[in-house]
């Protein structure tokens, strides 16, 4: 929180994330007029104009104090012009804006212990909007883009979701990715771990095709599950990357081990037999609901610009 005294004219820098100001006039000029309100409002004191780095918004007239000055979102500076020797103390306010009204305070809304993925539904018997679970056995219908990471720096692994835990209102997780790896190889495996489990609790089977050659591989009791391959640093062109997706069905279930489906395509050159297709399935030996996942290359780092998008359905 910052407090400062303003007088004359100038521009005051605002702290990050400030949502409003409270203003108290500390020097009241004799020439200022009384508007007749209670508490007293005055005229002829001056104006304030909030702004961002580009421009300023419409001015607020200073009328006295204590006075609320709500700030538009993204305000970073405050232009001021005090008249006739007036001065004021200004205090920055953080948190909820004084002009923000919670949904629950509206007279025609009645919320009771809302949870993730509920919607507003009109209840005719009470003439109010209430929170309710959508129809469909308690599972949110449709597909939603839930999370996305676009790497601004190289990293060894990406953990999703960024909020820390998947909600329990959907049935299926789909992750679509495109990326490249820093390893000094043509391609390397893309691996998956669930719920932070790094123990030997994963089994997987892979089918790989390059040109007319078809091959396969598998692992039992591994520390991660192979879900694709990614183009790496030895690829013939820096613009080459791999793309893929993986599916986890019934991720909220707690009866069976979790089965994962994955597929990917990668290329490392423009000649024959330099493009490959991977299809794989795997098992996580746990009946726990999936709350998070980590996707990472077997060797090296994901490079800048790699993107990972999560859909829930």
The range of the structural domain enclosing residue 113 comes to 103-132
Range name among 60-64, 94-98, 164-168, 227-231 with the lowest pLDDT average: 94-98
Is 272 within the bounds of a domain? yes
Q: What is the mean pLDDT of residues 77-90?
A: 95
Residues 295 and 152 in one domain: yes
- Domain assignment of residue 47, yes or no: yes
Residues 164, 26 share a domain: no
Say whether both 151 and 86 belong to one domain: no
Residues 181 and 274 in one domain: yes
| 160 and 118 inside one domain | no
Tens digit of each residue's pLDDT (9 = 90 or more) over 249-304: 999 999 999 999 999 999 999 889 899 999 999 999 999 999 999 999 999 999 99
With cut-offs at 50, 70 and 90, classify the pLDDT of residue 135.
low
Tell me the mean pLDDT in the region 113-142.
Answer: 74
- Same domain (yes/no): 43, 70: yes
Give per-residue pLDDT as tens, 13-30.
999 989 999 999 999 998
DSSP the chain: --EEEEESEEEEE--TT--EEEEEEEE--TTPEE---SS--EESSEEEEEE-SS-B-PPEEP--SSEEEE--TT--EEEEEE-TT-EEEEEEE-SS-TT---GGGSTTEE--S--TT-EEEEETTTTEEEEEPPTTTT---S-EEEEEEE-SS-BS-EEE-TTSS--SS-SEEEEEEEE-B-SSSSEEEEEEEETT--SS-EEEEEEEEETTEEEEEEEEEESSEEEEEEE-TTSS-TT--EEEEEEEETTT--SSPEEEEEEEEEE--SSTT-EEEEEEEEEES--SPP--EEEEESSS-BPTT-EEEEEE-
Residues 271 and 192 in one domain: yes
pLDDT digits (tens, 9 = 90+) for 147-175: 999 999 999 999 999 989 999 888 999 99
Number of domains in the chain: 3
Shared-domain flag, residues 165 and 299: yes
What are the distances in angstroms from CA 287 to CA 68, 194, 254?
A: 54, 12, 5
Of 61-65, 71-75, 137-141, least confident by mean pLDDT is 137-141
82 touches 64 (CB < 8 A): no
Q: Is 200 helix (H, G, I), strand (E, B) or coil?
A: coil
């Amino acid at each position: 929180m910052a407090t400062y005294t303003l007088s004359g004219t100038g521009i005051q820098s605002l702290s990050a994330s400030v949502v409003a100001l409270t203003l108290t006039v500390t020097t009241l000029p004799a020439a200022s007029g009384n508007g007749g309100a209670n508490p007293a409002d005055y005229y002829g004191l001056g104006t304030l104009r909030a702004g961002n780095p580009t421009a300023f918004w419409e001015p607020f007239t200073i009328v006295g104090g204590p006075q609320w000055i709500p700030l538009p979102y993204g305000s970073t500076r405050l232009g001021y012009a005090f008249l006739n020797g007036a001065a004021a103390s200004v205090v920055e306010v953080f948190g909820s804006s004084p002009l923000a009204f919670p949904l629950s305070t509206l007279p025609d809304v009645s919320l009771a212990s809302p949870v993730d993925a509920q919607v507003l539904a009109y209840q005719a018997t009470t003439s109010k909007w209430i929170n309710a679970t959508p129809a469909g056995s308690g599972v949110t219908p449709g597909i939603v883009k839930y999370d996305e990471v676009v790497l601004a720096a190289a990293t060894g692994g990406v953990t999703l979701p960024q909020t820390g835990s998947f909600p329990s209102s959907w049935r299926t997780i789909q992750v679509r990715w495109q990326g490249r790896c820093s390893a000094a190889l043509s391609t390397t495996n893309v691996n998956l771990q669930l719920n932070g489990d790094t123990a030997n609790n994963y089994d997987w089977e892979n089918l790989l095709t390059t040109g007319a050659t078809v091959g396969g591989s598998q692992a039992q009791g591994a520390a991660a599950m192979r879900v694709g391959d990614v183009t790496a640093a030895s690829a013939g062109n820096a613009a080459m990357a791999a793309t893929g997706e993986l599916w986890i069905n019934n991720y909220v279930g707690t009866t069976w081990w979790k089965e994962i489906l994955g597929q990917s395509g990668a290329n490392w050159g423009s000649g024959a037999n330099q493009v490959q297709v991977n299809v794989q399935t795997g098992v996580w030996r746990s009946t726990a609901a999936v709350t998070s996942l980590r996707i990472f290359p077997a060797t090296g780092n994901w490079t800048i610009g790699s993107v990972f998008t999560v859909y829930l359905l």
